[in-house]
Amino acid sequence: MEKELLKEIILEQQEIIKNKEIGVEREDLSKIKEYILLPHAIVISGMRRVGKSTLLAQIINKFYKDNIYYFNFEDERLLNFTPEDFNHLYESFMELFGQQKAFFLDEIQNVKGWEMFVGRMLDGGFKFFITGSNASLLSKELGTRLTGRYLTCELYPFSFKEFLRLKEYPLTSNTLSLTSKRAEVKALFNEYLKEGGMPEYLKFRNLEILKKVYDDILYRDIVARYDIKETKSLRELALYFLSNLSTLFSYNKLKGSLGLGSVNTVKAYTEYLENSFMVFVTNIFSYSLKQQFIAPKKVYCIDNKLADCISFRFSKDRGRFLENLVVVELRRRRKELYYYKTKNGLEVDILIRKGEGIEGLIQVTEGISDAAVRQRELKSLTTAMNELGLGEGLLLTADEEEEVMLGDKVIKVMPTYKWLLQG
């Protein structure tokens, strides 16, 4: 590419990032602070529009000010950018701003071979902050050239705490102890449960923003990248997943019901959707890898409102959206997740594995005031606890709280909003 065009793009983008609205400070900023002085590249991954560029702006504002090189590879003028152009890019930065030591590169997965440039410049003592919205491409390229030389941060839509900061709602140590304040927090939680945490949508409340994200993921991140010809099948699969949050599915049944060519096609399309960070799948917990492979899986979406605006299911499936929110939060906390089936077929929504052991079991339901629901949820948890040798389980609800003793087992029943604020 011509250096004059690169310089023009650089100057435009530098002005954009310098004047970018900082917004709500992300919780991930505290983790990144620990990485600043390390020589590793920092890789920030996540779905489109979750705030990766804003997080870069926050990092620049807090730790670097103007002493950086910033470049966003999403610019349509960069369609012909090649690995050889990285040298021209560096030269252009030098000519415009002199010697700086930190690169901020947005959506870098759009350029093949980027990891070679980053590796070479890391050797020269440069610091890198990199964002990307394709998990597979990032992991493949990082694994080939930058093994042991990078640290990762997976960015999600706003957490409940971040949502409260967006609402400028002050949290104190005794907020949930006061009846009036607890009612306010619950009302805000109900809004968060339905409206999700996508920053731009929460600012403008326009559903077209989320529909554009959805279409960009399908057509720019998946169809174009993987050269998919049968786009109707991909769209039907994505719609199925977003319409069936927190439910079990099997590749074989989806192949038949959606008319997809083969099980391998369903698996590939599912993997593409996962790589885009829009959906994720959990396996059954089993020490047998074969059982994990063949058993049905559960599907979740990274944001409740994104799923709702595509499927229009929230009012019908509030309990499933509640479970979806809990699973997203656990992923935000970097937990290894499964679901569990007892020997007599009872299901526990979430099993958290830690190393070779089990950290906990969580059941999610809208409420247990109905006697039949209460008995079902408690029986599932206690049966699983007995099989797995656990003494304590957690039952998350919309608003109920108690401690249930069943023999030597303890089940803590807790409002989901309270649990979210404890993390």
SS3 156: coil
Residue showing tokens 């008995």 = 375
- pLDDT of res. 47: 96
Query: How many Cβ atoms sit within 10 Å of the Cβ of residue 172?
Result: 9
Nearest to 121 by CA among 71, 77, 167: 71
- pLDDT of res. 312: 82
For residue range 133-144, list pLDDT tens digits in order. 988 777 877 887
The side-by-side arrangement of strands in the sheet containing 297-301 is: 248-249, 297-301, 279-284, 336-341, 347-354, 357-364, 392-397, 409-415, 402-406
- pLDDT of res. 140: 77
pLDDT in tens, the chain (423 residues): 899 999 999 999 999 999 999 999 999 999 999 999 999 999 999 999 999 999 999 999 999 987 899 999 999 999 999 999 999 999 999 999 999 999 999 999 888 889 999 999 999 999 999 999 988 777 877 887 798 999 999 999 999 999 999 999 999 989 999 999 999 999 999 999 999 999 999 999 999 999 999 999 999 999 999 999 989 999 999 999 999 999 999 999 999 988 888 999 999 999 999 999 999 999 999 999 999 999 999 999 999 999 999 998 887 899 999 999 999 999 999 999 999 999 999 999 999 999 999 999 999 999 999 999 999 999 999 999 999 999 999 999 999 999 999 999 999 999 999 999 998
- pLDDT of res. 90: 97
Query: How many Cβ atoms sit within 10 Å of the Cβ of residue 43?
Result: 22
Q: What is the C-alpha separation between 192 and 164, in angstroms, rounded?
A: 9
Domain 3-154, second-level architecture: 3-Layer(aba) Sandwich (3.40)
SS3 242: helix
Angle (CA) 185-189-195 rounded to 5° is 145
- pLDDT of res. 315: 79
> Which residues have C-beta within 8 Å of that of residue 310, sequence separation ≥ 6?
210, 211, 214, 238, 239, 242, 243
Q: Where are the domains of the chain?
A: 3-154, 206-281+302-316
- pLDDT of res. 421: 97
